Amino acid sequence: MRETASPVLAERTSIRLGGKAIAELYLESENDVFLLAERRKQLGGRLFFLGAGTNILAAEGDLPVILVRYAVAGEPEIVADDGRTVYVRAGAAVPLPRLLRFCAARGLSGLEGLVGIPGSVGGAVAMNAGSFGCEVGPHLASVRYLDGSHIRDAAGARLSFGYRHMRMPDGVADYLVLSGTFSLTRKAKDDISLLMRHNFFEKKSKQPVTAWSAGCVYKNPAPDRSAGKLLDAAGFRGKSLGGMMFSPLHANFLVNTGKGSAAAAFDLMRMAEEEVKRRFAITLEPEVRILS
């Protein structure tokens, strides 16, 4: 296990905000997970499992958390093929775009809707990431994870998925994903590439994909009520404060324009939530994971 003292969240998150954690622990082998509990006791603070940091809004200052990263590298691999379904296993640290490229190159279909979502496989599983009507959950054949001090494997049918969250069997909500095995079907490579390209350009034209953000800041309150439209109608599209701004391209993206701060992000969010509540009697719920 490798360790860094006082890691800065602003350097580890796509929105580039956040103060210092106590330490960052890199698990370099599956066996390293068994060292976690002892090291946590020595360091004090709670563990926070960090993927690629693309869905995190961290507060400033000294945070009482120990960042844990499962850093076991490796390529996705086909682990079974029963003629109808192909099973691909990918480690939690594998970037999601790399998994999608692996699938596209082999004519494996199912995850095309996830194109353009940054982050790691572990983060996508934990968040049940999704877009274009496609979510990770239905394609997960199994997950390997750490639950307390036990490594477990759970079949997909035993997992419960919701809007941007996943629970392990028996309602376990605090787990570290080590790998996921995805069930996919065979399809013409050209069809997969075409759909991925289409989804990617669609996303790029509607979302500020290269700006410093953590993706959509709020969950959509209902399938027919998008948070972006509510924020827009409440006058928050393009609204800025202290270097933070609700994107003019997509109001549900809170963007750090360069000199933003977490304090300004929280202030702007509070203002938006109050206005949406006042105008529409709807309580917006953050989709980003707030780390404080």
Ligand X SMILES: Cc1cc2nc3c(=O)[nH]c(=O)nc-3n(C[C@H](O)[C@H](O)[C@H](O)COP(=O)(O)OP(=O)(O)OC[C@H]3O[C@@H](n4cnc5c(N)ncnc54)[C@H](O)[C@@H]3O)c2cc1C
Q: Please list the active-site residues.
A: 164, 216, 287
Q: Which positions from 271 through 290 interact with ligand X, judged by CB under 6 A? A: 289
Comparing CB distances to ligand X, the nearer of 78 and 209 is 209
**Rule CB under 6 A: is residue 36 a binding residue for ligand X?**
no
Instruction: Tell me the closest approach of the beta carbon of residue 204 to ligand X, in angstroms.
Output: 10
**Rule CB under 6 A: is residue 113 a binding residue for ligand X?**
no
Instruction: Tell me the closest approach of the beta carbon of residue 83 to ligand X, in angstroms.
Output: 31
**Rule CB under 6 A: is residue 249 a binding residue for ligand X?**
no
**Rule CB under 6 A: is residue 18 a binding residue for ligand X?**
no
Rounded CA separation 226/218 (Å): 9
CB-based contacts of 214, cutoff 8 Å, min separation 6:
13, 14, 15, 54, 55, 56, 57, 254, 288
Instruction: Tell me the closest approach of the beta carbon of residue 278 to ligand X, in angstroms.
Output: 28
Strand partners, 183: 87
Rounded CA separation 199/190 (Å): 14
Instruction: Tell me the closest approach of the beta carbon of residue 182 to ligand X, in angstroms.
Output: 14
Rounded CA separation 225/95 (Å): 31
Member of 26, 39, 131, 195 binding ligand X (CB under 6 A):
131
Positive or negative, the CA dihedral 201, 207, 208, 213 is: negative
Rounded CA separation 71/2 (Å): 10
Member of 7, 18, 53, 228 binding ligand X (CB under 6 A):
53
Comparing CB distances to ligand X, the nearer of 13 and 275 is 13
- H helices of 75-176, in order, are 96-105, 121-127
Q: Which two tokens stand for residue 39?
A: 């090291």
**Rule CB under 6 A: is residue 117 a binding residue for ligand X?**
yes
Member of 76, 122, 228, 260 binding ligand X (CB under 6 A):
122
Member of 18, 110, 118, 228 binding ligand X (CB under 6 A):
118
**Rule CB under 6 A: is residue 7 a binding residue for ligand X?**
no
Instruction: Tell me the closest approach of the beta carbon of residue 54 to ligand X, in angstroms.
Output: 3
Rounded CA separation 291/57 (Å): 6
The CA distances from residue 42 to 20, 37, 70, in Å, are: 18, 9, 20
- H helices of 4-68, in order, are 36-43
Member of 10, 55, 76, 139 binding ligand X (CB under 6 A):
55
DSSP letter (8 states) at residue 16? -
The residues that touch ligand X, with contacts defined as CB under 6 A, are 14, 48-56, 70, 92, 117-120, 122-124, 126-127, 129-131, 175-177, 209, 213-215, 289
